[in-house]
Every structure is written in structure tokens, then in C-alpha cells.
Amino acid sequence: MITVENITKSYFGSKKALDNVSVKIENGGITGLLGPNGAGKSTLMKILCGYLLPDKGKASVCGFDIAAQPIKVRENIGYLPEHNPLYLDLYVREYLSFAAGIYLPKHEVKTAVENVLEMVNFAGEAKKKAGALSKGYRQRLGLAAALVHNPKVLILDEPASGLDPNQLEEIRSLLRELGKQKTILLSTHIMQEVEVLCDRIIILNEGVIAADKYTDELDEKLEIIFHSLTK
């Protein structure tokens, strides 16, 4: 479970990127964090992953406090940052071994890498360098790196951005499968993305939560709210 309580964050005294945000996300399923650019989505994700500390408020992941138990939090989270930074000169297995080695004892790394390659259907592409992969496979590699230590929670910052329609569908079906076993929080600025993928949609705008709905109770109002924010 992810809990966020009254989180506020400003960068260098500028306007608040997050303003007193509170939310609870139960275990399992896919929650979409939707909002226009600059809404605060990445900031919230970075705080949950322990990359940034909030100015005020607190948050926990799987019962571990982000400020007091950051290592425990990271063990439980797989994070795919925006723009999927990869070491392009490393071969796929080298890169995943590096990512796995951060969390796992040496003797578990090889098995974890092979397992995750199978999980994300890497097939023949696993022999390439990261820099030689298509955009869709790079995204899979980023996901694999986030998954390799088998975390309970996945935090994915714009995992589908820049993909062509085929690659989009492949990543979506992979995420749907993963959402059956893990708690996924993903961000996007595309309404349709959350409608097809998510069980719950949280709309963030100018650092505050503008709407929060489960997709089985979606109504036109949510679309109207979102489109009015992106105009």
C-alpha cells in the first residue's frame, strides 16, 4: 500500500510543485496519475521513490516511511524514471545484472536477470546493446530493470510516451499482466492511456488533486475536468 499524507514540495522557493497532497493506494491493480505537464506527477513519484524529500508531510510504501526507512522503501519499489535513462553502451544482460546487483546478492543475479527477460518477453533482442534497441525494446529494458529485484510496487513515469501504436499495445498488455501481481502507479498526460489501462485515475493539476475515480465509475465529468485543464 502507498500512503501520502499532506505532502507539500517547492523547488528553491518557487511555486509549489505539490500542495498538501494526500492519497491512499491499496495493493494490486494499476493507478494512473494523470495531469498536464508541470502538474507535479514526477515530483510525487520522485518523493515516493526517495529521490526527493518533501518540505512537509509524510508518505509510506508497503508500510515503510520514505524518510525514516528509505532503503526498505527502495527494496519494495521498481522505478522507471521519465525518459528511461539507460546505459546505452551496455549489453542488455550487463545492464540488468548491474541493476540487479544493487539489490540482490551476487549468486542470485544471473537467475533474476534470466527470469525478468522472460517476464518482459525480450526474446532475441537480449543479445544487443541497449543503444541498438528500438524504442519499444528500450522501454521494455527500463521496465525489466525496474522489475529485476521483484519489487511489490512499480512506479512508472510516462512508461508509454513516444511509442508507436504497435509498441504501445505491447507495453500496455505487459503492464496489464504485471498489474495482476503488483501495485502499479503510472503517470501519463494522455486521458486515453488511463482509460484503457488503469483501475483508478487520479488527476493532478498545479500540485493538487483535481479528481480521483475508479474507472468502473468513470463519467463524462472526469473527461471534462481533464480537458479543461489541458486547454
* Whole-number Å distance between alpha carbons of 123 and 23: 38
Q: Which residue, 41 or 74, is less far from ligand ADP as judged by CB? A: 41
**Should residue 42 be labelled a site residue for ligand ADP when binding is judged by CB under 6 A?**
yes
**Should residue 35 be labelled a site residue for ligand ADP when binding is judged by CB under 6 A?**
yes
- For residue 58, list its beta bridge partners: 5
Phi, psi of 16 (to 5 degrees): -70, 125
Assess contact for 229 and 34: CB atoms under 8 A.
Answer: no
Closest CA to 100 of 86, 119, 114, 118: 114
**Should residue 167 be labelled a site residue for ligand ADP when binding is judged by CB under 6 A?**
no
- Number of chain residues interacting with ligand ADP (CB under 6 A): 11
- In the complex, the smallest distance separating the C-beta of residue 190 from ligand ADP, rounded to whole angstroms, is 13
Q: Which residue, 11 or 214, is less far from ligand ADP as judged by CB? A: 11
Taking each helix axis from N to C end, the angle separating 135-147 and 92-103, rounded to the nearest 10 degrees, works out to 20
Assess contact for 182 and 61: CB atoms under 8 A.
Answer: no
Q: Which residue, 13 or 165, is less far from ligand ADP as judged by CB? A: 13
- Residue from 5, 19, 20, 38 binding ligand ADP (CB under 6 A): 38
**Should residue 40 be labelled a site residue for ligand ADP when binding is judged by CB under 6 A?**
yes
Assess contact for 30 and 193: CB atoms under 8 A.
Answer: no
**Should residue 214 be labelled a site residue for ligand ADP when binding is judged by CB under 6 A?**
no
Q: How many helices (H) and strands (E) does the chain have?
A: 8, 10
- Residue from 4, 32, 34, 41 binding ligand ADP (CB under 6 A): 41
Query: What does the block give as the cell for 42?
Result: 514526477
Choose the stretch contacting ligand ADP; rule: CB under 6 A; options: 9-17, 71-79, 99-107, 140-148: 9-17
**Should residue 32 be labelled a site residue for ligand ADP when binding is judged by CB under 6 A?**
no
Q: Which residue, 112 or 201, is less far from ligand ADP as judged by CB? A: 201
Which stretches of the chain bind ligand ADP, using CB under 6 A?
A: 11, 14, 17, 35, 37-43
